[in-house]
Every structure is written in structure tokens, then in C-alpha cells.
Amino acid sequence: MRIRPEPSVIDIVVEEQHAPLVLSNPKTEEKVKELLQCFRLTGENVLKVSDIFADEMENGINDRPSTLLMENTYIPELLQGTETGDYLALDLGGTNFRILLVGLQKGRTVREEVTQYHISDELRLGSGEDLFDYLADCLYDFVHKHGVANRKLRMGFTFSFPMHQRALDVGVLIKWTKSFASTGVEGNDVVDMLRNAIHKKGGLDVEIIAILNDTTGTLLQGCVLDSNAAVGLILGTGSNACYMERAERVSHWEAERHGEKEVIIDIEWGAFGDGGLLNFIRTDFDKQVDTNSLFASSFTFEKYISGKYLGELVRLILVNLANHRLIFGGIMSKKIQQIDSFLTKYVSQIEEDNVNNTLCNTEEILKLFDLDYNEDDIQVVKYVSEVVSIRAAMLVSSCLSEVLKRMKRPFVTVAVDGSLFKHHPRFKLWMEKFVKLLAPQHPFKLMLVEDGSGKGAALATAIAERLRKTYLIY
């Protein structure tokens, strides 16, 4: 039986998180509240989002059409505390990528060498072959620089783009995101492409035995810090989650089975709600964000909750309020009218003012945008940041609560990484409150875990090596 709060109880808890907006002009105050009412999720809508998410998880895990990919990572177990050795990790997810040499002793990191390399526009937008040749060149540079060129090393590849995994060491790129558009990669196994580039380069005794994304890496790194870690969550520029699922529930399994009891499932929830599933909570501002984005009509959920878009949502609201002459005397600067100019880090800084009952951060940001403001304007900007932030925290919580319910564990530590979670002063607090409200019978803890994308790849490699020895796979 699903135990859940009444919608009216959710309404009360959500309302308690909002500070009252008090302006010198009651009419302006009322109009601002009215314009932002669309961001206040009702209890009924919160439960509806949770139900849809639960259904989409079930559809995805059973290979039925779903906006959640529910990708099998083929990582059937977590760290056992016996893993020992040196492992390479290549972490590709943005315009800079990293190569790491991680030394493990009984599952703990005892050595870490890291070098960062830049990827030029020409490589990101050129041919995929050139891109992977460059990765191999950098790998060659790294192993020679750190004196391990003469050793056979096994490597994990963190590839933080949507991919379809067919085995622990097979990952087919579905679609480039972020600023990448290298040709000849989509639809191909990126591990195979990197292997070919390494072979072509020569002088490298490196074997890639695991591919994963930053979300899975965060969970693995979380396990080092807390044995109860069973969910990985990214709340940064993008957002995603993964969790430990019972193997018997997983329909999609292309690799050979070896009696696995569990496996990490990569939910890929950024596109949750695509196709109109979440239109009942969509505002006109959300529609504008979508229209202005590089990936219109896709990554719906990410546009509600992630660091890439929250600042833009706040900017669009402020522009709308100014157009209605409700702030800044109806006068806007050129800077505030530029798309994507209002970064989510500003939202976090404004939220610090809300926590500390101060004005200084908000004033500095308004000066940065060349805006003339009065005290009422400052209060409105703080109110807008709060309303947008609370909605994002509730939406993340509504989905995370369903993951915890599905797992049915006595206690779960959620390993979380990402700039939004790390720098927003109230996001963690709200999530703790909302998840406890929505999943009262499922105790949990949110734990900040940094650099899962780097160290996590080395940990995945150590697990993969152990599995190979266990099942005599060489």
C-alpha cells in the first residue's frame, strides 16, 4: 500500500517555505504574487508528477516506451573494500577533459594524479575521428608524464552524454549535447572509437574495461564514503539520477548474465516529461526557456530543475515584471535583456540574502546588470529567486521519493554532486523536507560527493577488473 500525504498537507508545507512578499505598494505586491502563482505547485500536481514518474520508471525498466531511458550500466555490485591497484580514468563531459591515475588500497584512494586538457572548437565540431585521436594523444602524454608508460593499465571512461549501454565496456552515443557536434560519432560505440585511436597512436598499453557517466561515478564515489550509498544524483548544470535496482526487474540485458542480484540503473531523467507529459505544470516562462534553448521540445525536466536553466527562468520573470512596470520603474538595461545572461550562481547568491536576511548580494547583482532599483525591487528579485528555487527542489524531491519507494531499503544514502546542490544555500534543506514528506517510510540522507566523474571511473574499472577475475573474463 502506498502511504502518501494528502494534497492539502503538501500545500501547507510548500506554503511554509515561502517568505511573505511585503511591498510599499499593496497593488504592486498583489500583481507580482499573481504573476508568480503559476510556479507554486499544488499538492495534487506534486502527487501527479510523482505518479507519472513512477509509471515512466516501470515502463522504461520493461523496455516499453518511456521518457526515462532507464539504462542498464552493467555494474552489478558496488565496492567491496578489497580493490587494490592503479587505474586510469578519462573523464569527458565538457570543453575541458581530465585524465586521472588513481591508486587504490583496499577500496580507498591513496594516490591521485590529474591532468586537465582543453578541447578546441575545431575538435568539438569537427570529425569524431580527430576528436578521439586527440584523446589518445593526450593519454600518451599523460602516461609518459607520470612515468607509467611501460606498465599495462586498465582504464575507465566517464562519458557524460546520453548513451545506450550494451555491456560494461560498450556505450553507443545516442545524441551529442552541450557544445559537442563531432561527426561520425552518434550511433557508434565510443569505447571502440577510443580503442581504435589508442591502437593507431601506438606506444600505449591501456585497456578500456568500463564506461559510465558522471551520475554512476558519483554513486560509486559515494560508496567509498558511506556503505549505505545506493543512489547517485547530479544537480548541476544538468541533472540526472541512478540507483541500485533488483536484477530480476531489468528486462534490458544484452551482455551475458552471471547470476547478478542487482545492477546500477541510469535513469536519464533530463528528458522526463518530453512529449507533453508535464504540460500541466508548464508556465509561459518555461515555454520561453524551451524556445530559446539549443534543444527545443526536449530535456523538459532538466529545464525545470537544472542550473543551466534556473537563472534564465528568473531573468525572463524579471523582464516580464519590468514590462508590466512592476519593477525597475519599467526600465530595463540591455544586459538583463540578453538571453542566458542571468546565471544560476546569481540565484544562489540572492538566496544567501534570503537566508541571512540581507540585501548586499542582490544589490551587487542588480548593479552588475546596470539596473536602477529601489528597496521594493530588491524584495521582488529575492522573492522570484525563492519561488523558482522551491519549485525546482520540489520537482527533484517528487522524483527522488519515488526512487526510494521503488528500492524499499531500510536506509539509503543519496550521493549528490553538482554546483546547484553545492552552492544553493537552501536546496538541500528543502529536498530533505520534501522527500521526507512524500516518502515518510523511507529513511534517507543526502551527502555531497565531489569528483565522482573522475574517481568514479577508476572505481568502476576496479569493480570491472574484479568481475573479470570472478567470472574468468579476460
pLDDT at residue 117 greater than cutoff 60: yes
What is the span of the domain harbouring residue 157?
A: 77-212
- What distance lies between CA 425 and its chain's CA centroid? 18
212 φ, ψ (degrees, to nearest 5): -155, 175
Cα(457)–Cα(105) distance, integer angstroms: 16
Residue 48: all three cell numbers together: 501527479
Over residues 306-334, mean pLDDT: 97
Over residues 95-116, mean pLDDT: 92
One domain, residues 88 and 65: no
Domain of 418: which CATH number?
3.40.367.20
The catalytic site residues sit at 98, 160, 214
Q: What is the pLDDT of residue 1?
A: 59
Domain of 121: which CATH number?
3.30.420.40
Cα(245)–Cα(243) distance, integer angstroms: 6
Over residues 190-197, mean pLDDT: 98
Strand order in the sheet with 153-159: 108-118, 96-105, 85-92, 153-159, 206-212
Q: What is the pLDDT of residue 168?
A: 95
Please report whether residue 62 resides in a domain. Answer: yes
Strand-pair partners of 172: 164, 189
The residue assigned the cell 592503479 is 86
What confidence tier does 255 reach under pLDDT thresholds 50, 70, 90? confident
CB distance 230 to 449 below 8 Å:
no
One domain, residues 281 and 337: yes
What confidence tier does 408 reach under pLDDT thresholds 50, 70, 90? very high
- Computed over every residue of the chain, the mean pLDDT equals 95
Strands 262-266 and 170-173: unpaired
Over residues 192-220, mean pLDDT: 96
Question: Pick from 313, 365, 321, 358: which is nearest to 339 by CA?
Answer: 313
Cα(381)–Cα(359) distance, integer angstroms: 10
Please report whether residue 175 resides in a domain. Answer: yes
CB distance 442 to 401 below 8 Å:
yes
pLDDT tens string 370-400: 999 999 999 999 999 999 999 999 999 999 9
Over residues 415-439, mean pLDDT: 98
One domain, residues 308 and 354: yes
One domain, residues 317 and 372: yes
What confidence tier does 473 reach under pLDDT thresholds 50, 70, 90? low
Over residues 276-298, mean pLDDT: 95
More confident residue, 232 or 257: 232
Cα(394)–Cα(390) distance, integer angstroms: 6
Q: What is the pLDDT of residue 474?
A: 44
Over residues 102-126, mean pLDDT: 93
Q: What is the pLDDT of residue 378?
A: 98
Predicted TM-score of the model (pTM): 0.95
For the packed helices 310-323 and 284-292, what is the interaxial angle rounded to 10 degrees? 120
Q: 206 by DSSP, 3-state: which? A: strand
